[in-house]
Amino acid sequence: MASLDTAHAPIRTERLLLRPLRTSDAEPLFALFADWEVIRQLNTPPWPYALADAHSFISEHLDGELGRTTFAITLEDVLIGGIDVRMNPANHSQRGAGPNLGYWLGRPHWGRGYMTEAARGLLGRVFDAGLGDVVYSGAFADNAASLRVQEKLGFERDGEIMLYARPRDAKFPHVNTVLTRAKFEGRRP
């Protein structure tokens, strides 16, 4: 597992800075997360989303391990999204233990390649830190943009399950994906 210093060290990409969330991120996080088009594609946040939910989310994700730290995705010091890798005993499809990539991006920043860039930066940190040789992820089947991000990074589809989406209060088809270290390294700039 990466040290505290490594886990919290900012990750710089060509256009972005990924840094651990701060308590001061609550209001900008709320402003972006209180958008139905963003939150409907996630499985755990409540809806409607309140400022208190943003404060609670941030306090729960201020931790010292890389596999438990949520990074704020920032552009010119402005919060535009969030990304993390959770070390799960087993992912949604019970394929095995390992890191599971999750992310979201505020709607004003969609379609500009920011998420692919941010995910590439975090995945490099995850593989360099030795958190495993496989990273799991996925998206609801109706989230073509998120699945496209994963495809660009080298993730391959690995089955489909029905997954409960708390904001929509129902189960929906979820495409599971998997990325190997070898596949990621083969696409690393």
The DSSP annotation for 52-81 comes to HHHHHHHHHT--SSGGGPEEEEEETTEEEE
- Structural domain boundaries, residue 42: 4-187
For the chain, how many residues are written?
A: 189
Which CATH number do you get for residue 12? 3.40.630.30
Q: How far is residue 46's CA from residue 29's CA, in Å, rounded to a whole number?
A: 14
Tens of pLDDT, residue by residue, the chain (189 residues): 444 456 679 999 999 999 999 999 999 999 999 999 999 999 999 999 999 999 999 988 876 566 667 899 999 999 999 999 988 765 444 556 789 999 999 999 999 999 999 999 999 999 998 888 999 999 999 999 999 999 999 999 999 999 999 999 999 999 999 999 999 998 877
Q: What are the distances in angstroms from CA 23 to CA 20, 52, 172? A: 10, 12, 32
What is the count of structural domains for the chain?
A: 1
